[in-house]
Structure 1
Amino acid sequence: MKEIVTYLIKIKDSPFDLYLSNKPMAPEDANYTRNRTRARDFNGLEDASIDMTNHIAIKKTVTESTEYEEIEYD
């Protein structure tokens, strides 16, 4: 089974969920989205400049499995 772990970055104290949607090279370059599916996945190796004082990381684990099953064919 293959497992991929990435992280979403979200603002801590906001009246609604705001997720980081780009890879900012400076804190003022950060863009946010309310749609979690548009949030950018980070693997921890990017050269992004994110002040985590006001943000929280959310671990995203995607598990991929392949199953085989013999079936009867008439």
Structure 2
Amino acid sequence: MSKETVTYLIKRKGIDDDDLYITNRPSENVPTIRYSTDKRDAKHFDGLDKTSIDMTKHVAIKKTVTETTKYEEVGLDD
């Protein structure tokens, strides 16, 4: 049995030296976007949140995590 989770990291376009990843969830009420050069700081977006990001200035990076659950019968040693 496998479970797959898809999220997206959002990266700023047009940056030559370092990649800049969005670290917050900007909205219409609070449009400020914060960035980090460390991918580990990037906020994961699932597409269901009410985030407001101008994607003409950004690119989405799809992250797929597949979790597998395995059951197996084992015997007891005498």
SS of alignment partner, residue 44 of structure 2: coil
Identity %: 50
Bigger CA radius of gyration: 2
SS at the partner of 2:40?
Answer: helix
1:64 matched to which residue of 2?
Answer: 67
Aligned residues: CA RMSD: 1.9
User: 5+ residue gaps in structure 1?
Assistant: none
Question: Secondary structure of 1:57's match?
Answer: strand
Matched, 1:17 2:19: yes
Task: Mark the runs of 5 or more structure 2 residues left unpaired by the alignment.
Answer: none
Q: Aligned pairs, how many?
A: 74
* 53-62 or 19-28: bigger deviation: 19-28
Select the structure that is richer in helix. 1
- Normalising by the residue count of structure 1, what TM-score does the alignment of the two structures yield? 0.85
